[in-house]
Structure formats: C-alpha cells, structure tokens
Amino acid sequence: MLKSASRRLVTAAAVAAAAAALLPLSAAVQAQAAGAARPAAAPGRASGPITLDNHVQLSGYDAATDPSGNTYIGWISDKGKGRKVHLCTLPLDSNTCMDGIQTIDSLGDSSAQGLKVLVSSAAEVTLVWFHDTTASTMGPQGGEIATATSDAGGPLNGPFDMASAPSFGSLLDARLGPGNAIWTVAGPPAAKSRVQIHTDIDNPMNHVVALRTPYYVGAARLRFHGNDAVLAIQKYGAITKPVSYASSRGGKWTGFRQVAKTWTSDATLGLAGTKSGIRLITSVNNANYYPVSWSWTGTAFAHPTLTGDFHHCSPASHDAVSDDSGRVADVSIECSDLAIANLTDTRHAAVVRFKAGGTFAGGDPQITTTPRGPGWVIWSIESKVANKLLAARILLPGRPVTASKTAKGNLVTLTGPASCLPAVTFAVAVLGKPARNWRVVASQFHLGGAVLLGMKLNGAALTPNTKYALSGTVRFANGSRQLSVTAQLKFRACPNN
C-alpha cells in the first residue's frame, strides 16, 4: 500500500500497486491478513438487549459462563407475591433462555437477597443467596445461606438451606475456593463492624471465621490465588475512606489493612483472580475518581496503575472478572452509559460504552466473558413499575499499543493491538515523522509476510492463541536519497478456551 504523504497517517489507497511489487503470497495468508476469512465485528454491544424480567423489585443478580461458553444468569425478584429465584441459561451464540426461565422459591419471601452465580469447570451451576428465618427474631445467628443447583442449565435442584448467617444480615460475596468448596462472606445488620466467612457451606463441619472490620462493610469481594484467600472491603456510604483488605494463608487470617491512596468514590470496588494473580480496582484518591489497578504481592496490594479510563464521567460501580485468557474485564456505570473495559494485561484498559436505555436502578451491572472476547452484560433500569432486568451480548475491545523505530532522525510510530486481541475489528496506524530536510513518500503495513489490505485487522479471522508480527514501514526521501524505516510489534490472538 503506497501513498505519497508528508507527516501523514497511512491510508488504504493503492494497495494493488504495492502488492504487485511483492513476492507472491498464498491466497490463505492474504485472506487472513485482509480479514476476509470471517466477517469483522465492532467491539461493544453485539446484540439488542433482551428483557429477563420487568415490573419487579430486584434483590440481587449475577452471571457466570462455563468453559464451553454457556452463560448462566441468576436473579431474585418480587412481583408482589414474595421473592423468587430465577435462572436463565443462554447457550453459546443464543439470545434465548434454554427451556425458558426457571423459577423456584427463595425460602425468604421478603428477605431473600444477594444472589451469586457460581460455575465449576464441569459446568456445575450453583445459585447462592441469603434469607432470614423466624429464628432471626430470637438470636444473632438466625439467617440462612441457601443454594440451588443445576447441571449445565438443567433443572434447578433446591432450594436448600446450607449454613447459618447473621440475623437480618446480607450475603456480601460467594466464591468457589480450593477444591471447588463454596466460600461465603456474610455481613451483619447496619453499624456492626464485622463479617462472617464460611469456608465450605456443603460441609456440616465447615470452618466459620468471624473477622472484625474497621468499619461497617458496604461491599466485600473474596478471591483466591492458589490456596490463599484475599478479602477486600469498603465502608458503607463512604467516598474518601480507603479500601481495606485481609488475607488467609493456611487457614489463618490477618487483620485488616488499608490500601493507601484509594477512594471508593461511592463505587463498588472490583476484585478479580487472574492467572497472574489477584487484581484490585479502586478509585484514585482525588476528585477525578479515575480507576486504578492494584496487584496482589502475596502480602499486600502494590504497583498502582491508572487503567487509562479518563472519561469525564467517573465509574460509579465495578464488576471485575477474569477468564482463561488471563485478562481482567470490568463493567461500570458511567453517567447513563455502561462502560466495558478490557484490561488485557490486567492493568491497562481499552474501553467501549453504550447507553443503558434508562435510569440505572436495582443493582450494579454485572459482566461475564469468554477467552476469545464475547461475553454478556446484565444491568437493571427503572421501569414504569419498579425495575427492568436486561442482558446484552458484548464483544470486548482490543487495546492499542505503540512501537517505534528511528533511523537518521526519521521516526516511525506504529499503533497495533496488545495481546490478546479479541475477535473484533481493530484499527492500525503508522505515522512517519521525518527529520529535517526529509519527507515521507510512502507507507505500508505487513501482517507477517503479507500485505495488510486496509487499515483494520479482523481479529475474528486470526488463528486463536497464535502469535503475529505487525509491521509498519515508512519510506523517507531527502533529495535523491531514500530510506525505509520499519517499526514492528508482536501480539497474540485471544484463545478460544
């Protein structure tokens, strides 16, 4: 692809003329470079939203995806006849709940809340939630943690009460721990500064830990790295109070410590367990409220890194998740938008946004992803009566990075994708900045050994989990002298699983 230019971004013109000067390339390589093998797709919302429930009071919703790509969305809602638990199973590439929406009793009528969806590697689905009982009025431990189970979206079994919980409390989090044991974090009523952790609710002899917290907990997130557990919390209703954390090794918990220079900014913290360790998302401790990623060192959170989301409307929520690609994905409320962040290296984000379609109400948005980049976002808005629960398929964006090369003062800057590139379109660019008395006369892209036909990569056409080299060459001239300078960056296409 050749085009006369001076200090100009390359365009797609004259591709045929440039290709004629190259060695012959196979049709398969050319098609892959041009993105002709599969249709290209833009990142962001990939389908219209589907309505899961409407005109209801919501008391918790969550989603998770199994290794085959099937997504499970669970929620608790009340249409005036008591709170019920629901499950929608969305097969891969489907916008319709398999066998409809399953509904069971919550055991709690007006008290059931805080539902979490857990999925094992064998596609064993467990819904976990909290409810009060008549014993709640008679003592401090009258609540219950209930579950219902499904085999890959099959019939819901349950509900079953599995473990006691603080009376009139709440379920703050539930996670699959070592050996697929279900751990839960429950909080007591308002103004009580403690949390209660069950380490295996399926085991009647499970270990129960009561941790004293530095404040009344508004949100808590539990994640694991190997056999070690980390619990991050934030103060209810606070903006400038730092996030705090405690950890467990060998069954022994530390006390809580603050993560210095963090604000919650009235946004729920994000915590994800990745292949490279646990990552925490907070706000910077000033009125910008920019999101910051922190890395767990084994004893503390360190290496704070601004994610790069500098939008004028700061995040008002976080739901950080990871998948087998190793990334962190996050969904946030930003004014009237849903902001979808892909932290490819768990620290730096590419962000896309779309309108919620109404006023947020009923809970924080939730996200679930697959390694190749597709996923689902679930959110709730005000309806004419109470709330509406929505879900939409999404495609994570690729994150741009740059590489540069200089020769005789002539600078070439190439913009391409970071690893891993999801199955979406990605705009590439090459910029030549000539030295004094030099000028740009031509530019060209290559993907591997093939000319890249156009200025966009089609991630869906690339072979999953394969490394590629993208290069951008700019030819400079100074009188009769000519000089070609090439910048190159390497990236990997996201895996399928």
Per-position b or e across 52-85, b if 16+ CB within 10 A of its CB: bbeebebbbbbbbbbeebbbbbbbbbbeeeebbb
The first and second tokens of residue 59, run together, are 């008391």
The first and second tokens of residue 115, run together, are 């539902």
Q: Based on the domain organization, do 178 and 90 belong to the same domain? A: yes
Q: Based on the domain organization, do 333 and 422 belong to the same domain? A: no
pLDDT tens track for 29-56: 444 444 445 667 999 999 999 999 999 9
Q: 4 lies in a domain?
A: no
Q: What stretches in the chain show pLDDT beneath 70?
A: 1-39
Domain that holds residue 425: 15-41+399-492
Provide the pLDDT for residue 238.
87
CB atoms within 10 A of CB 36: 14
The first and second tokens of residue 36, run together, are 């002709």
Query: How many domains does the chain fold into?
Result: 2
Q: 8 lies in a domain?
A: no
The first and second tokens of residue 152, run together, are 């890959």
Q: 264 lies in a domain?
A: yes
Which residue among 395, 425, 449 closes a domain?
395
Q: Based on the domain organization, do 410 and 362 belong to the same domain? A: no
Domain CATH code at residue 155: 2.130.10.10
Provide the pLDDT for residue 147.
98
Q: Based on the domain organization, do 338 and 406 belong to the same domain? A: no
Which residue among 395, 425, 454 closes a domain?
395
Q: 416 lies in a domain?
A: yes
The first and second tokens of residue 111, run together, are 């008290």
Asked if 475 and 443 count as a contact pair (C-beta separation under 8 A), the reply is yes
Those residues whose C-beta lies under 8 Å from the C-beta of residue 219, and which sit 6 or more positions away, are 172, 233, 234, 268, 269
Query: What is the C-alpha to C-alpha distance for residues 385 and 402, in angstroms, rounded to an integer?
Result: 49
Q: Based on the domain organization, do 385 and 466 belong to the same domain? A: no
Q: Based on the domain organization, do 166 and 287 belong to the same domain? A: yes
Provide the pLDDT for residue 250.
87
Q: 3 lies in a domain?
A: no
Of 443, 434, 445, residue with least CA distance to 479: 434
Q: Based on the domain organization, do 48 and 152 belong to the same domain? A: yes
Which residue among 395, 428, 453 closes a domain?
395
The separation between CA 218 and the C-alpha centre of its own chain, rounded to angstroms, equals 21
Give the type of residue at 196.
Q
Q: Based on the domain organization, do 154 and 281 belong to the same domain? A: yes
Q: 220 lies in a domain?
A: yes
Q: Based on the domain organization, do 209 and 225 belong to the same domain? A: yes
Q: Based on the domain organization, do 434 and 404 belong to the same domain? A: yes
CB atoms within 10 A of CB 233: 29
Task: Tell whether pTM > 0.85.
Answer: yes
The first and second tokens of residue 398, run together, are 């690729």
What is the DSSP-derived secondary structure letter of residue 47? S
Of 435, 437, 439, residue with least CA distance to 475: 439
Q: Exposed, middle or buried by CB within 10 Å (0-12, 13-18, 19+), for 467?
A: exposed
**Beta-strand (E) ranges in 37-156?**
44-45, 50-65, 71-78, 83-90, 102-105, 113-119, 124-131, 143-151
Q: Based on the domain organization, do 150 and 31 belong to the same domain? A: no
Provide the pLDDT for residue 38.
61
Q: 484 lies in a domain?
A: yes
Q: Based on the domain organization, do 405 and 289 belong to the same domain? A: no
